[in-house]
Homo-oligomer: A and B are copies of this chain.
Amino acid sequence: MNLDEAKKELMSLQEKIAAYGHALGLISYDGATTAPKKTAENRGRSMGVLSEELYKLQTGEETVVLLEYLDANKKDLTQEEARMVWLLLKEIRDLQKLPMDEYIAYQKLLVEADDVWHRAKETSDFALFEPILEKIFETSRRFAGYLDPEKDPYDYWLNEFEEGLSREKCDAFFGTLKAHLVPLIKRISEVPQVSDACIKGDFPEDKQEKLSYFLMKLIGLDPDHVGLSTTEHPFTTSLGSHLDERITTHYYREDVSFSMFSVVHEGGHALYDTGSRDEYAFTVLDGGVSMGIHESQSRFFENILGRSRAFAYVIQPELRKLFPEKFSHATVDDIYKAVNKVQPSLIRTEADEVTYCLHVMIRYELEKRVMAGELAVHDLPAEWNRLYKEYLGVDVPDDKHGVLQDSHWSGGMIGYFPSYAFGSAYGAQFLQKMKETVEVDRCVAEGDLSPIRNWLRENIWQYGCLYKPSELLDRVLGEPFDPMVYVAYLENKVKDVYGID
């Protein structure tokens, strides 16, 4: 093998991986959007085969030889090629550290866990989920030991899910948030609540769909490359490459804001993915680099832009046109306040901008203590409920609306939650930076977001997975990450909406 051939092979390998990803992604997407009801087993069979073929391709002898040859000749690779090799090798090297039988047993455990969790959630029966969740936490600890014996297991997973994170960083971050947000939420509860009457009512689906396409156009999604479908839970997926992107939403007839902000949130994910350099298509550099950076983009569009006063101003005419009975008398201020109503609640995914991070923080604290052996899985529900009362002031009626609400733990994703909160906070600091050169509010009010998109594309989107999240952050911010920027952003919002400091 010579280097030129190996470089060509590297591209061909990635094209194959992308094609399998396309197939697997589309089969899932089809299941969530279009497939007849009782076809899940049929899909499972095909996905089982294709995943195994992909796994063989990614970790097979031929691939390992190729990547190690390229890695040994790293000095002759471009920056892009070197990063591709690193990303592809990482997965192989991690797998090599895990005893194969334990790895396979864990994959099977997770399939079972998904089923058990669904049933446990449905019947609000934590005892049913408890034994399998114990095994998941135990495996998570054990695998971290294989993968990096030097590191604390929870630190290992935090850094895996969002490169750069650790307990120390999370403690500092959530400590700051807690110190400011818990009292802030208490102060909000002491003043008169704002009204969200204009966004509640009866909103026919066909009109909400028109609103979706209006919003997609407004934020700048290219309809030739980004599609919209409806699903139970909204999500975003790339098929093959960023050149075919799909977002989904869910229409609730009685609340126009759910789908509205779903579209803008998923649209933010899609803008990030589709902003990758075109030459990254069908390589591992294509699309967003991490969950944290991804959420920074989706929540930037959803909250920072989407819940701004300027956004309320620019969407008001469309809302009036589509739903005159609800919006003909609603002022920009009415809309702005309605979509920024702060109200502590039970479910993370339905939380407002201010209380959201506290939901995440509770999960972080619990995970950390279980991973450290300071809290038994058995005691998770009681601790969950106690923390919801302490931080958010709400009483959890049952585990379905409490500790069983998220799918992450049943999927083995312990250490994943913090990236949601960090993403939100990154966004606030990006805004601060962006405002040095872009008149953000004016762009939104004028309905021309291209200067905002150009800034994000220039600084973040174009790079795909070229830089590690921490490197990317350094490049964009040019200063350390500072959670106080986020706190200040939230306090300012609350001041504007509720008139309190």
Interface residues of A (CB under 8 A from B): 15-16, 18-20, 22-23, 26-27, 30, 33-39, 41-43, 45-50, 53, 223-227, 229, 239-241, 243-246, 281-282
Residue of B nearest to A29 (CB): B30
With contacts A26-B30, A42-B281 taken as known, whether A244 is within 8 angstroms of B19 at the C-beta atoms is: no
- Closest partner residue, chain B, to A225 (CB atom): B36
Closest to A15 in B: B49
Contact partners of A26 in chain B: CB under 8 A: 23, 26-27, 30
Contact A23 B46 (CB under 8 A): yes
Choose from B35, B46, B227 the contact partner of A36 (Cβ within 8 Å): B227
Q: Which residues of B contact A227 (CB under 8 A)?
A: 34-36
Lowest 6 A-B CB distances belong to which pairs? A23-B23, A19-B49, A38-B224, A39-B244, A22-B46, A19-B46
A86 to B289, CA, bound (A): 48
Shortest C-beta distance, A99 to chain B (Å), equals: 25
* Contact in complex: A240, B36 (CB < 8 Å): no
Q: How far is the CB of A299 from chain B (nearest CB, A)?
A: 24
Closest to A21 in B: B46
Known contacts: A16-B53, A36-B227, A38-B224. The answer to whether A240 contacts B22 by CB under 8 A is: no
Closest residue to A242 on the B side, CB-wise? B42
Q: Nearest residue in B to A221 (C-beta to C-beta)?
A: B36
What is the CA–CA distance of A20 and B27 in the complex, to the nearest angstrom? 11
Residues of B within 8 A of A22 (CB): 27, 43, 46
Other-chain residue from B33, B41, B48, B225 in contact with A39 (beta carbon distance below 8 A): B225
Which of A39, A241, A246 lies at the interface centre, i.e. has the most chain B CB atoms within 10 A of its CB?
A39
B244 touches A43 (CB 8 A): yes
User: Whole-angstrom distance between the alpha carbons of A246 and B42 in the complex?
Assistant: 13
State how many angstroms separate the Cβ of A50 from the closest Cβ of chain B: 5
20 example contacts (A-B, Cβ-Cβ < 8 A) are as follows: A15-B45, A16-B49, A18-B45, A19-B50, A26-B27, A26-B30, A30-B30, A34-B246, A36-B225, A36-B245, A37-B224, A38-B225, A38-B243, A39-B225, A39-B243, A42-B241, A43-B244, A45-B240, A45-B241, A53-B53
Instruction: Write the nearest CB–CB distance from A87 to chain B, whole angstroms.
Output: 19
Report the nearest B residue to A36, measured CB to CB: B227
Q: How far is the CA of A16 from the CA of B48 in the complex (A)?
A: 9
Chain B residues in 8 Å Cβ range of A241:
42, 45
Min C-beta distance of A284 to chain B, whole Å: 15
**How long is the Cα–Cα vector from A50 to B35 in the complex, in angstroms?**
22
Q: CA A49 – CA B240 in complex, angstroms?
A: 11
Instruction: A50 to B22: give the CA distance in the assembly, Å.
Output: 10
Instruction: Tell me the nearest residue of chain B to A47, going by C-beta.
Output: B19
Q: In the complex, A36 Cα to B242 Cα: how many Å?
A: 12
Contacts of A16 in B (CB 8 A): 49, 53
Residues of chain B lying within 8 A (CB to CB) of residue A225: 36, 38-39
